[in-house]
Amino acid sequence: MKMTMTQKILASHAGLEQVKPGDLIEAKLDLVLGNDVTTPVAVDEFRKAGFTKVFDKDKIAIVLDHYTPCKDIKSAQLCKKAREFAIEHKITNFFDVGKVGIEHALLPEQGLVGPGDAIIGADSHTCTYGALGAFATGIGSTDMAAGMAGGFSWFKVPAAIKVNLTGKFQPYVSGKDVILHLIGLIGVDGALYKSLEFTGEGVAELSMDDRFTIANMAIEAGAKNGIFPVDEKTLEYVKDRFKREVKIFEADEDAEYESVVEINLSELKPTVSLPHLPSNTKTVDEVKGMHIDQVVIGSCTNGRISDIRDAASVLKGRKVADHVRCIIIPATQEIYKQALQEGLLEAFIDAGCSVSTPTCGPCLGGHMGVMCENERAIATTNRNFVGRMGHTSSEVVLANPEIAAASAVKGEICTPADL
């Protein structure tokens, strides 16, 4: 039939036997997501269109994570509008302060997304859920409003790029380095409106957290979505979490791809993206010694428990450099609690870090780590555009948690081996 994983999922949700790149289809949705920034706009559009009820209160998730705990009156007003809508329509999966987490870590953790799903979210990093073998993509607030009302959305079926992974990781290399390396190879528009489909023997080397990180940043290459095959690690992750039927889609052997990118994990080195594009990649060896003022370890890209453990393994028993601010943000309350139980938060505090409740805050220059002019941060976040974390003259370097933590100790970009 010559269909990729993504194309098969879309065909299934559109009630079609087959689709091909460029087809316009209408697909049923398993989940519609919004946050405190995008939901209020969607609520306005929902009401403007004359909608009076949602298609399924169990298949909508509203997560107040970007500017929360509310940083100012405006953010409080936005949250109030989203909160009142959730109460009015009895939205089952509404997450407010105290129960919230960064949305793209929270939804998989809570079992709200799983293999074979079709998911839209009014946030560009909704593509994270492709790690579970789902089709997941970001949309605008108007499409969110329509999705909440009707339970479907239209799509142009994307062509695909196959990313074939081989080999095994070297020390201090993780999923973050894989996706930074890939974006460096193909550019921020190298997969524009295409599906990035990850395959090969190297997939087995990746933890689920690695896969979430890679799928999360598919959008940074312009992709419509990123997706991984469903294997034993996937099924173990969703076991006892995901309550709906697990649907496994596999690409046909003769599936057509526009191109194939080969990545040998054994050859990867710790990698960073320099300002002001994720594609501006260098190995850490090439930029060692670059001064930093701030470190942010967290976000929907690298705020999961393995990321927190990796950072703590470097920071435990050490001190953050005097001139550096190091901010640690576990991505969900469950991750926060687990890190507390394992003594990781104590290690961070002893090292001189600030530990925050779950929030997107500094990633988008919202709060909890905004920079002034001419400051530079190294962060485990996913974007380093001009002004992303504050002043337009500030800079963000993207890295994995071990590199970020080591850099916090030395006050300049380095690896743990340099400490």
Mean pLDDT of 222-240: 96
pTM score of the predicted model: 0.95
Can you give the residue ranges of every domain in the chain? Answer: 5-263, 272-418
Mean pLDDT of 60-79: 96
- Span 348-400, pLDDT tens digits: 999 999 999 999 999 999 999 999 999 999 999 999 999 999 999 999 999 99
Cα–Cα distance list, 226 to 133, 275, 416 (Å) = 9, 24, 30
Query: Identical fold at 5-263 and 272-418?
Result: yes
Mean pLDDT of 108-128: 97
Band the pLDDT of 178: cuts 50, 70, 90: very high
Band the pLDDT of 312: cuts 50, 70, 90: very high
**φ, ψ dihedrals at 308, nearest 5°:** -65, -40
Q: What is the pLDDT of residue 95?
A: 97
Does position 198 have pLDDT exceeding 80, yes or no? yes
Residue found under tokens 């990633």? 363
Instruction: Give a three-class secondary structure readout of 113-158.
Output: CCCCCEEEECCHHHHHHHHHCCEEEECCHHHHHHHHHHCEEEEECC
Burial class (CB in 10 A: 0-12, 13-18, 19+), 101: buried
Q: What is the pLDDT of residue 396?
A: 97
Q: Rounded mean pLDDT of the chain? A: 96
Instruction: Give a three-class secondary structure readout of the chain.
Output: CCCCHHHHHHHHHHCCCCCCCCCEEEEECCEEEEECCCHHHHHHHHHHCCCCCCCCHHHEEEECCCCCCCCCHHHHHHHHHHHHHHHHCCCCEEECCCCCECHHHHHHHCCCCCCCCEEEECCHHHHHHHHHCCEEEECCHHHHHHHHHHCEEEEECCEEEEEEEECCCCCCCCHHHHHHHHHHHHCCCCCCCEEEEEECHHHHHCCHHHHHHHHHHHHHHCCCEEECCCCHHHHHHHCCCCCCCCCCCCCCCCCCCCEEEEEEHHHCCCEEECCCCCCCEEEHHHHCCCECCEEEECHHHHCCHHHHHHHHHHHCCCCCCCCCEEEECCCEHHHHHHHHHCCHHHHHHHHCCEECCCCCHHHHCCCCCCECCCCEEEECCCCCCCCCCECCCCEEEECCHHHHHHHHHHCECCCHHHC
Mean pLDDT of 151-172: 96
Write 73-80 long-range contacts (CB < 8 A, 24+): 75/36, 78/36, 78/37, 78/40, 79/36
Band the pLDDT of 219: cuts 50, 70, 90: very high
- d(CA 99, CA 93) in angstroms, rounded, equals 11
Q: What is the pLDDT of residue 299?
A: 96
Yes or no: say if 260 and 292 are a contact pair by the CB < 8 Å rule.
no
Band the pLDDT of 172: cuts 50, 70, 90: very high
Identify the CA nearest to 165 among candidates 192, 133, 136, 203: 203
Yes or no: say if 395 and 291 are a contact pair by the CB < 8 Å rule.
no
Identify the CA nearest to 328 among candidates 300, 305, 308: 308
**φ, ψ dihedrals at 365, nearest 5°:** 65, 30
Band the pLDDT of 243: cuts 50, 70, 90: confident
Does position 1 have pLDDT exceeding 80, yes or no? no
- d(CA 369, CA 65) in angstroms, rounded, equals 15
- Span 138-157, pLDDT tens digits: 999 999 999 999 999 999 99
Mean pLDDT of 291-317: 97
Yes or no: say if 222 and 191 are a contact pair by the CB < 8 Å rule.
yes
Yes or no: say if 196 and 218 are a contact pair by the CB < 8 Å rule.
yes
Mean pLDDT of 68-80: 95
CATH number of 5-263: 3.30.499.10
- d(CA 181, CA 176) in angstroms, rounded, equals 8
The widest CA-to-CA distance across the chain, in whole angstroms, is: 62
CATH number of 272-418: 3.30.499.10
